[in-house]
Amino acid sequence: MTSGMSGIWCEIGYLLALVVIGLSFLGFMLAMMMDEINKKKGIIMYILSIILLLLGGYYYYTVGQWQKMVGGPSINKLNYYLYIYREQPATQPILPLPPQQ
């Protein structure tokens, strides 16, 4: 897989993680509404929303770590500000010197 193609898959992964996080915020709002009607179900919904938020955050971080491993350009400015992935110039490994005879 080329570097440009991996960047596209990373951006799709970031978007899917943000969708999961958005669903958790929707769950928070529903939990607050449910709490007015039924306290027990509201608390359960709130706990499930917290779990979904943590899973979305973990997914976002995991995609960032995978992009660090693969490398390549990124148009995602959120990663730059959160210090998850910043594009760095390629460095060449330092080769060991051959033994002197």
Size (the chain), residues: 101
What is the domain partition of the chain in residue ranges?
A: 3-81
How does pLDDT run along the chain (101 residues), one tens digit per residue? 555 566 778 888 888 999 999 999 999 999 999 999 999 999 999 999 999 999 999 998 888 888 877 776 677 777 777 777 767 654 555 666 677 76
Scanning the structure block, which residue is given the tokens 């060991």? 96
Please give the model's pTM, rounded to 2 decimal places. Answer: 0.72
Contact status, residue 42 vs residue 63, Cβ threshold 8 Å? no
φ, ψ for residue 83, nearest 5 deg = 60, 35
- Tell me which DSSP letter residue 54 carries: H
